[in-house]
Amino acid sequence: MVRITLKIALGILFVLAGCTHLAFPKPYMKMIPPFLPFPLFLVYLSGLCEIVLGIGIFTRFATWAAWGLVGLLIAVFPGNIQMALHPELTPSLPAWTLWARLPLQAVLIAWADWFTTSKTRIK
């Protein structure tokens, strides 16, 4: 029961996060490191990936979706570093929260990784 509850929470978390990327892209654009081109496109792409993978966690492709979430979380980690190193880009957020996101990313990766086996599939 705990696994199912955590899987549902993970899926909902990513669907909602993806929706915020699409609805409010401007704050997320500040996270994109300057060496990456097309920040608006990358925000929309990551948001769509979050939605698709968050829904995918409930399908027969759950294992693949979980691996996708692990990969996505690793891919967006430079954005979290960008925010932590440049708190002036998000003055409404306390700097400590930007640094707290870094270890939180590891927690999210471990959470998604827990569902990378078919044993955790919701049937």
pLDDT at 35: 95
3-class SS at 86? coil
| Cβ atoms within 10 Å of 85's Cβ, excluding its own | 12
Strands of the chain (E only): list them: none
Please state the φ and ψ torsions of residue 91, each to the nearest 5 degrees. -65, -20
Per-residue pLDDT of the chain (123 residues; tens, 9 = 90+): 888 999 999 999 999 999 999 999 999 999 999 999 999 999 999 999 999 999 999 999 999 999 999 999 999 999 999 999 999 998 888 999 999 999 999 999 999 999 998 664 455
pTM for this structure?
0.90
